[in-house]
């Protein structure tokens, strides 16, 4: 893989998808449909998926592409693949709460090694550089011009004063019971893959998730967190969270 090209293509497509999403987000009321798994989908999901899918297939025609909106029609082949959630946090989008993201990741041998997370309503953009180190670019964001950037790194956590981030729309008793085991000084709620990025920038220390997620929900945020010195493990045995699983469904996990 040409990682310089990958970084440029992922950034461009994430920004283009973000523009399409925000046009719908800032417009009049939009239709919300329900998919087979009972999750919501909007025209913004579909528009962003079309932009990213078309762009990735043109740039990397030999790499398998898995997207949330087309997962059933594309079988995984080989040890490397691109995985996309064109609009993570659709519930946040529908309720106009802003905590939604565009996510693109590149996975090799079960590990997301490159990724980008763009929160267009929050104007925050995180991605791995060509060397795999994570950075945050500050806006205003232009497709043809890279703005100010700085590398990001996880904080050294204080076990007596942990800063925990949890899902805004999917908190449950198992998650709360896990959090209660620790000395928590701050508990933040955030939607979508932004939770990974808050740990990657040192704004939080721990993100436990006891609930259903899919690989496209987590891969890009996982890559950004890894590139900032963090890690993601399975809830049950603390083994690394891997990708390319049958059905693309994740077990419960802990990011830190």
Distance CA 215, CA 159 (A): 29
Q: What is the pLDDT of residue 173?
A: 84
Give the domain 3-151 fold. Fructose-1,6-Bisphosphatase; Chain A, domain 1 (3.30.540)
Give this prediction's pTM: 0.93
Q: Which CATH class is domain 162-255?
A: alpha beta
Q: What is the mean pLDDT of residues 204-216?
A: 94
Q: What is the pLDDT of residues 5-40, one digit of tens each?
A: 999 999 999 999 999 999 988 887 766 666 655 566
Cβ atoms within 10 Å of 158's Cβ, excluding its own: 11
pLDDT tens sequence across 106-152:
999 999 999 999 999 999 999 999 999 999 999 889 999 999 999 99
How many angstroms separate the CA atoms of 143 and 149, rounded? Answer: 14
3-state helix, strand, coil split of the chain in percent (to 5) is: 30, 30, 40
| Predicted pLDDT at 249 | 94
- Confidence class for position 42, pLDDT limits 50, 70, 90: confident
Q: Could you tell me the residue ranges of all domains in the chain? A: 3-151, 162-255
Torsion sign over Cα 146, 127, 64, 40: negative
Q: Check for a shared fold between 3-151 and 162-255.
A: no
Supply the pLDDT for residue 54: 97
CB atoms near residue 11 (< 10 Å): 19
């Amino acid at each position: 893989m040409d990682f310089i090209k990958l970084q440029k293509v992922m950034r461009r497509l994430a920004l283009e998808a973000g523009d399409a999403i925000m046009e719908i987000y800032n417009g009049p009321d939009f239709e919300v449909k329900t998919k087979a798994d009972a999750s919501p989908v909007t025209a913004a999901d579909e528009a962003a998926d079309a932009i990213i899918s078309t762009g990735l297939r043109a740039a990397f025609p030999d790499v398998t592409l898995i997207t949330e909106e087309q997962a059933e029609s594309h079988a995984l082949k080989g040890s490397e693949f691109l995985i996309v959630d064109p609009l993570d946090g659709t519930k946040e989008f529908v309720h106009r709460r802003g905590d939604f993201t565009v996510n693109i990741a590149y996975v090799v041998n079960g590990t997301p090694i490159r990724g980008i997370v763009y929160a267009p309503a929050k104007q925050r953009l995180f991605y791995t550089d060509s060397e795999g180190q994570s950075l945050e670019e500050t806006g205003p964001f232009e497709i043809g011009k890279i703005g100010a950037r700085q590398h990001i790194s996880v904080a050294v956590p204080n076990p007596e004063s942990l800063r925990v981030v949890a899902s805004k729309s999917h908190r449950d008793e198992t998650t709360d019971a896990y959090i209660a085991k620790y000395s928590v000084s701050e508990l933040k709620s955030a939607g979508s893959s932004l939770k990974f990025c808050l740990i990657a920038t040192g704004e939080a220390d721990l993100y436990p998730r006891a609930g259903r997620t899919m690989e496209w929900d987590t891969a890009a945020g996982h890559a950004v967190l890894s590139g900032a010195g963090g890690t993601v493990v399975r809830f049950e045995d603390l083994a690394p969270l891997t990708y390319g699983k049958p059905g693309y469904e994740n077990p419960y996990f802990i990011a830190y």
